[in-house]
Each structure stands twice: as C-alpha cells, then as structure tokens.
Amino acid sequence: MPVSFNTLDLNLLKVFDAVMEERSVLRASQKVALSQSAVSHSLARLREMLEDDLFVRTSTGMQPTARAQAMAPQIREALRSLEAAVELPTFDASASTKQFTLAANDFTTMVLAPPLLKLLGREAPSVDLIIKPVTRIDLAEQIDLGRIDVAIGVFSSPPGRFRSALLFEYDDVLIVGVRNRLDRVDNATLERLPLVVVSFGGEQEGAIGGFISERGLARRSEMYDRAALEKALAESDRPPRMAVSLPHFLALPALIEDSGLAAIVPRPLAKAFERTYAIATHELPYATTPVEVRLLWHERLEDEPSHDWLHDVLRRATEALRHER
C-alpha cells in the first residue's frame, strides 16, 4: 500500500534524520532522547511504510540506501521549517542584513547617530538604517503602514495601538556665539536679546499647545518651552523678540556664531554644538519643564526579536544622555 502523508508519524522522520546524520542507532537514540530499541522500532515502521531498507548495517555504520539519500535533504529542510515555525523566533544581529527605518528630527539624529553607529559597527556591521524626518510626513500613517519601524520624538498621549519607551530627558538652555558670551543671564537680558527658536511648522499646521495632532498621534512642534519663557517675562514691558523662527536645528550655529542672536535649545544639542562650533552655553534664569524623548512603535511589533534588539540598542546609544546635565 502506498504511504500516505496524512497517516505518517512525523516522529519517524526525526528518527530517520538522526540516523542519517549519525549513521549509528546508538548515537541517534541519544540525539532524539529515545532508547535504542525505540529507534530500531521506528526505523522498522518507516521501512515497512516506504517499502525500502533505508539503512544497511555495515562495519562502518548504518549506510543509507539510494532511497534514503534522495529523501534526506528534503526531510531535513522540512524539519527545519517546522522547527522555525513552532519555536520562538530569534535575531542574530551580528549576522543580520536587515534594514530598519527610523523617524527622527535633526536634533535627535545629531545626538543619537554617532553612538548608535559605533554600537552597530561592533554588534551589527551589516544592519542598515534609513532615517526619515519626523516632520513633514503623516507619522501615524507611516507607522500604521509599517513604513517606519520606530519613531523618536516628543509625543503626547499616543493612541492605544502604539507602544512607547523613554529614551532620555532634557531641559532648555541658551546659546550664543563665543564672541558674544554673556556675563550673566537674567530676565532683563532675555528682554533685549533677539532670539532664534525652532518650530516645526506649528502655527501653519494647526498646533495646539505646541503639539501637532495627526490620526490621534500628537507630536511636539515647538522645540522650546514657550510657556516657561512667557511666564518668566509676564511682567516685562518688552515681550521676548522672536527674531528668527526655523523649521530645523542645524542652521543655528551658522546664524549665531558671528551675530548678536541667541537661541533657546535642548541641552544635549547645545553640548554637541559646543564641541564643533564657536558656541557658548548659558543657563536660563527660569526653569523649563523637562521634556521626554521617547521611542514609539506599533503594537504589532511588540516582542518581535529584531525590533526588541533595535529598541535595546537605541536605549544603549542614549545612555550618556540620560546622565547628562
């Protein structure tokens, strides 16, 4: 009677594969955690079903027949496929050629990318990154469609379909060109300084409270604490002068180095600017509300090994920022 796959005991194929690899009933029994008699019995059943000896005992071990040699590669591949299907997936970063797509603004890219690339170079040299702007796109839609693996930014009460984790916090500081370093910074100083601020199109795009909302996801658009500044100067006869409003951060050094302009920026960015440009940092005369920069991803990626690894490596890349002051 021809063998039917529907009635085939898959354990027989595991025994066959073990004997094929070990060429010994004893070693095969140890590999599949069965007794020698159980392995022999399984082989007998399989021989009867397939009407072939499959293995011939010789002085050098169990030698496969032509039928067994023809079956072996397909059986091994099938068993590996089944194993992969039922076992928990894993991710080997060192061997991966996976490409991840991140969304971030120029500030977070500038402070995050250097340590992140060092970690990738050591742990995942063939993993590639695409970094898209967190602004000027429908971020929620891109995450929903799977076109962005993780977004990095400041978000307010994300919808339930998203998950988030804290990367680091920061507060605001004042930066000026080194040639215009200030002896002291008080409210009177701020009244007379022409300021540069960064806003990701908030007024034009209908921002409320410094956040733009799209599909239930609110992301920060005003990249300085306007409320704290206005409160500090509430009794002043001269409201702060916003001389320049920019849609990004990286033009700031060129505007500030050799001018009388000042800017209110995130502290980590000010430190990064100081290492490269002729920029001096001053503490503000008022406290700003700490801002949380968070990872954001879709719930369907929860517990997916490659994405768990990505989130972990991003957290490790920002470890220094969590202790910076």
CB 54, CB 64: distance < 8 Å:
yes
d(CA 40, CA 12): 11
Strand order in the sheet with 194-198: 241-246, 194-198, 262-266, 172-177, 279-282
Assign 201 a pLDDT band (cuts: 50, 70, 90).
low
| Every domain of the chain and the residues it spans | 5-86, 99-167+294-317, 172-289
CATH topology match: 99-167+294-317 vs 172-289: yes
Mean pLDDT of 65-91: 84
Number of Cβ within 10 Å of residue 200's Cβ equals: 23
CB 91, CB 309: distance < 8 Å:
yes
Q: Does the pLDDT of residue 180 top 70, yes or no?
A: yes
Architecture of domain 5-86: Orthogonal Bundle (1.10)
Architecture of domain 172-289: 3-Layer(aba) Sandwich (3.40)
pLDDT at 320: 92
pTM of the model: 0.71
pLDDT digits (tens, 9 = 90+) for 136-168: 678 888 999 899 999 999 988 888 999 999 999
pLDDT at 204: 45
Fold category of 99-167+294-317 in CATH: D-Maltodextrin-Binding Protein; domain 2 (3.40.190)
pLDDT digits (tens, 9 = 90+) for 15-39: 999 998 889 988 889 888 889 999 8
H-type alpha helices, the chain: 10-22, 25-32, 36-50, 66-86, 106-123, 139-144, 187-192, 226-232, 252-256, 267-276, 305-317, 319-322
Assign 303 a pLDDT band (cuts: 50, 70, 90).
confident
